[in-house]
Amino acid sequence: MQAAGVPDAHHHDLGEVTATIDALCASERVKRDMHAIYRILAEAEAAAHGCSVDETHFHEVGNGEAIENVLAICLAVETLDPVEIVATRVQTGAGTVVCAHGKLPVPAPATAAVIARGIPVCERCLPGERCTPTSAAVILHFVDRFEA
């Protein structure tokens, strides 16, 4: 993804991520999708930390690799141009995960905040983290409907 212009750096807040997205060598559609996904992430972080979106601080989701992953998904959706995206219930996982904030329950608070916006989840949870904040934001943004 270096060809698209994602720097191998950490982006600490929504403003830094926004500037990186704006500078990408990608279509406006891809950039809009990426902005929307990172806005969902910033809102989830704000909800988890009890602060405003402008005060959120990205940890794992702000690294260059995470931005590249979101870019790749957005490019794939643009290329495939599906009429509708349908998904099954999401497997969140169970237990704990170690991240920049220490040991957190699964789903992590930011993931739970995104899921609470309308993503149906599996009743039976498998061990470990199965849905990250980024994957939940991608699902929320792109999935048109869920089936059982």
Predicted confidence pLDDT, tens digits, the chain (148 residues): 455 667 666 657 899 899 999 999 999 999 999 999 999 999 999 998 899 998 888 877 788 888 999 999 999 999 999 999 999 999 999 999 887 768 989 999 999 999 999 999 999 999 999 999 999 999 999 999 999 7
C-alpha distances in Å from residue 88, one per residue of 25, 26, 28, 46, 148 = 33, 30, 29, 27, 6
The reported pLDDT for the residue numbered 142 is: 98
Collapse the DSSP code of 111 into the 3-class scheme (helix H, G, I; strand E, B; otherwise coil) and give the result: helix
- State whether 65 and 103 are in the same domain: no
Collapse the DSSP code of 67 into the 3-class scheme (helix H, G, I; strand E, B; otherwise coil) and give the result: helix
The reported pLDDT for the residue numbered 91 is: 98
- State whether 69 and 22 are in the same domain: yes
The reported pLDDT for the residue numbered 6 is: 72
- State whether 96 and 122 are in the same domain: yes
The reported pLDDT for the residue numbered 97 is: 87
The reported pLDDT for the residue numbered 3 is: 54
- State whether 56 and 99 are in the same domain: no
Among candidates 140, 135, 130, 138, which has minimal Cα distance to 107?
130
Domain limits at 109?
86-146
